[in-house]
Chains A and B, each alone.
Chain A
């Protein structure tokens, strides 16, 4: 490890500045650069923006199919496997002919994917081993070939270098045209064969059973993917192109359950991170585009992971907290109902001290519970609250809405107790704890079904009244 640097010097002496930036910038402030970038004045900026947009679009749409099929790392395998093809294309006529390289790389990529499938089918080795072997084996072959080429007379290695780390500025107008063509083909194919792609993504057995050409579709997708990877390689490099395939799609996967929304979101994320990466790379003087695009996508993924409306981590935490608050509120209401019941429904107003005895809790906690009730519009104070604080004498009463809610909760509780004793043969002294939990969760239609099944009961197993809105009003 000590001599990494000497290896560095020996192997890639000329390429310290693999860190590619868009355009050569010298004495400008970042604001003027930002304006320059946003106005899209210079052709370099225009082609970089267009290029990263197209790359983001292609990679993330095609990557979505990989992510839902749990084949995410096939993209990684593919991007490494094209290397010997690139070298072979280079050897074809000893120049950086983009078409020769494109054809060679595509052939190598498809061969690699086919080999993964073949190894998986004919041996007991698992998919991960098969992918790892193809990835590393092809890459090793590629390294071998590029080192040989660099030692050869025609070894103009600058062209091959680009494939390892990528430069967005290196996208030629030909590359952008190619990307445009691939994007259009992707859109057309996905629109035409959406149903088929959907079927092979989620239920291969079903797709086979109804006679879809599963293998053909699979390889069509792989061919498109290879095209996209080969062209994107020059902009973002071997390792990072797999991020463009996976990360935007994974972020979209966190946000929606519908495939078509996933495709749209994923494309939007891919394009956003592409432009974001190009922008930041343009602002800074020496930061490469590829890693910035990848980190842009990672940022979007982290945001989706935390704030996603349904699966987001923070969303879940907030949801759980709201639920706890609601349950606390309902428990207070229930306690007030019990007080009311003990007073034979003759009194409406109660002192906080009474509630504190009923709830077996201290005054401070009870007062904050009452305040929460008041905030929710379910209770109102009878006295001036500032005078009677913590004396336990402050009186309050439930509003009509609060009373309804209290009746509902108690009814849920007692209905469930009755249901457990009648229908599930529980002992009547065993049902309370269960009902204590379920009372907060029963929905309206479930309550109706319970009432119907128990034939609109009036008393619970302990002989107490089951409140209903019609009978009990204050």
Chain B
């Protein structure tokens, strides 16, 4: 309990203590933060390029009924059923959005809003209706907390202890995402920028759209325990958006987004340690801060560069979205 919002800054408690006294805990928490934001960031680059950012938001909210139903059906908190429930919910969300779009004149943005808020409402209702049976709490799905991931159950592989279960699981997910993105890199690249060219090359853009949606659902599902359903959106959008302000080359953007993710994890962890706040919240604040910084000073696209050389900054490899305001 303390009196002021900003506690006294003490170099030792904020930066030294975590890496000496609590070194092992800090290492795993920071690594978990990096794995979550790094994986989200890589997938996020493609999500941003396809203008699917808010579909991600919708998927992350719709997870609530998915995991609640999985819990009610299997009556256990095992990872696999919940994962399946969440992925089904994610795919159902996208299918419903598409169904509303194609069967009526409702615009995609309104369709997204209607679908995710309805599904979220179903989730909250299920949790409150079966409150005595469900050990889930909607608020916790909303918040998530890196500091509470169970570090004590150690995952073993072939008799060798490799690390805490959640971190190892997240690492596996990260690996899967990276391998998938590497295998289908060319296809993802082409379908992201030019679906007509993709079609002429015999690449089905819709298939990759759904593939990305599936990958996005899996990544969101595995991340929300640590960062909560809203902040997972921050981890998806911020690294890519910040990186795309600095470069036009996708490979460089992917590397940069990974670098930013590492910074979020490290600096966010220290910020949260200092303020004694939510680590995911701290990472998001750092993400917002770094975006603001890059937005200001980016060499070609930054506000300062725009002010100094107004003509050069305007050119953009991607055609601008038609503006409504």
Contact = CB atoms under 8 A, between A and B. Distances in A.
Contact of B237 (A5, A75, A76, A132): A132
Q: Which of B105, B138, B141 has the most CB of A within 10 A?
A: B138
Nearest to A164: B139
B284 A4 contact: no
Contacts of B120: 239-240, 291, 294
B76 to A, nearest CB: 10
A141 interface: yes
B282 A144 contact: yes
Interface residues of B, number: 99
B259 interface: no
B178 interface: no
Given A3-B150, A240-B117, A287-B125, A164 B109 contact: no
Contact of B140 (A8, A250, A294): A8
A73 B237 contact: no
Contacts of A129: 48, 51, 53, 237, 240-241
A135 interface: yes
A148 B277 contact: yes
Interface stretch (A115-123, A341-349, A387-395): A115-123
A6 B278 contact: no
A280 to B, nearest CB: 10
A153 interface: yes
A110 interface: no
A164 B141 CA distance: 12
Contact of B54 (A128, A253, A301): A128
On chain A, which size bracket covers the interface?
A: 35 or more
Interface stretch (A64-72, A352-360, A367-375, A447-455): A64-72
A214 to B, nearest CB: 8
Contacts of A71: 109, 324-325
Interface in A219-264: 239-240, 242-243, 245-247, 249-250, 253-254
A3 B113 contact: no
A140 B113 contact: no
Contacts of B141: 4
A224 to B, nearest CB: 16
Interface in A130-161: 131-133, 135-145, 147-149, 151-153, 155, 161
Given A128-B54, A152-B5, A136 B128 contact: no
B136 A8 contact: yes
Which of B78, B141, B148 counts the most chain A CB atoms within 10 A? B148
B113 A75 contact: yes
Interface in B287-325: 287-288, 291, 295, 301, 303, 306, 316-318, 320-321, 323-325
A249 B107 CA distance: 12
B270 interface: no
B3 A153 contact: yes
A152 B1 contact: yes
A446 interface: no
Interface stretch (A13-21, A172-180, A429-437): A13-21
A135 B122 CA distance: 22
Contacts of A294: 117-118, 120-121
Contacts of A240: 117, 120-121, 124
Interface in A1-41: 1-8, 10-12, 15-19
A298 B118 contact: yes
Chain A to chain B: the 4 pairs with minimum beta-carbon distance, closest first: A140-B284, A243-B117, A19-B128, A136-B234
Interface of B: 1-5, 48, 51-54, 56-57, 61, 67, 77-79, 82-83, 100, 103-107, 109-110, 112-114, 117-118, 120-122, 124-125, 127-129, 131, 135-145, 148-150, 165-166, 221-222, 225, 228, 230-231, 233-234, 236-238, 240-241, 244-245, 271-272, 275-278, 280-285, 287-288, 291, 295, 301, 303, 306, 316-318, 320-321, 323-325
18 contacts: A5-B137, A70-B107, A70-B109, A72-B110, A126-B321, A132-B53, A136-B237, A136-B238, A140-B288, A141-B285, A144-B277, A151-B2, A153-B1, A242-B117, A246-B117, A249-B110, A253-B105, A254-B106
